[in-house]
Amino acid sequence: MSVTQFIYGYLNEKPVNAFVIENTKGTKIQLLEKGATLDKIIIKDTNGDFVDILVGHEDLDGHVNRSDYQGVVVGQYANRIKDGKFSIDGKEYNVTLNEKGITSLHGGGEYSSAVWSSEVLSDNSVAFTYHSPDGKEGFPGNVDVKVTYTLTQNNDVELEYRAVSDKKTVINLTNHAYFNLNGYDSGDILSHTLKINADRYTPIDEVSIPTGDLPSVEGTPFDFREEKTIGRDIEEDFTQLKNGLGYDHNFCIADYDGTLKTAAIAKADKSGISMEVKTDLPGIQLYTGNFFDGTIKGKGGVPMTKRCAFCLETQVYPDTPNHPQWPGCTYDAGEEYVSKTVFSFDVD
């Protein structure tokens, strides 16, 4: 195992560092201080060739100026908050409306656009830290955040999140990696198979805010309890697919109890690479690259086209601060937020 460090680029004339962790199998992950980004996952496919399975950017300019959250850590509240409003103990907070001026998305982009501090912890682990000042993007509390990435010999990519605030606040962190298990330059992901351990999901309205219902996936295009291709039902005449322009929905993980559970398993049809996603959080967001239109070019100059990647973002449910009946996201001053997500890779 080894960690190497180099300067990835410069932002405001200050260096932004990258780190490459490699195990003895030749599997590598590349991490960036900007956004605490998971920038590359390079792994051997069924033919013995190494492929990068993350769709993203190849330089800092792309990450700064053309990003759609590729690989970044998002917070202070991942996903959406209706009208950018929520209350804690009767006090209303108004946070940044950065999506069409009507919703707050991914905490206003604060964590994802920041350059984090970094520390190499061992020969297979790197930590990133960030201080969010009280009132930033409207969220209460001085919040100190730490995200640790670890690559194991078994091709597990482990993400540990920790955060603590000096005021009662809401916290919901995730990584927004875009996966194409056939390789970033291999076209769409519609033939990938996917299984999601969820019997309910959170429907959304026309602006992607949860309605508050938690219906069964039974008999809908959202039933991934048995493995099926991502593309099998994605074009069905179904209101929820129209609202999201495809899958852009939270799935409620079955039998949630706060322990690490398998939330999803995805498999590529060409590379033979499979990925298991484990989390101790109650939800996972499936997003299928619905808004890409090919105008933005990523790694190798490859256009990012509709359905070229998928995301599986572990989380509490979207807009949870306005739905107290759902698994909570509010933390007292001094109470530590701790969560773990694991991406485990294998190849046929």
Question: Which residue do the tokens 């939270």 mark?
Answer: 250
Helix, coil or strand: residue 264: strand
Tokens of 215: 């219906």
Q: Could you give the CA distance from residue 277 to residue 155 in angstroms, rounded to a whole number?
A: 12
Q: Could you give the CA distance from residue 113 to residue 116 in angstroms, rounded to a whole number?
A: 9
Options 22, 57, 313, 323, the catalytic residue: 313
Asked if residue 130 lies in contact with residue 142, where contact means CB atoms within 8 angstroms, the answer is no
323 is catalytic: no
336 is catalytic: no
* 83-90 contacts at long range (C-beta below 8 A, 24 or more positions apart): 84/138, 85/322, 86/170, 86/321, 86/322, 87/321, 88/140, 88/168, 88/169, 88/170, 88/321, 88/330, 89/168
Identity of the amino acid at 302: V
Options 57, 63, 106, 176, the catalytic residue: 176
Which residues are designated catalytic?
176, 313
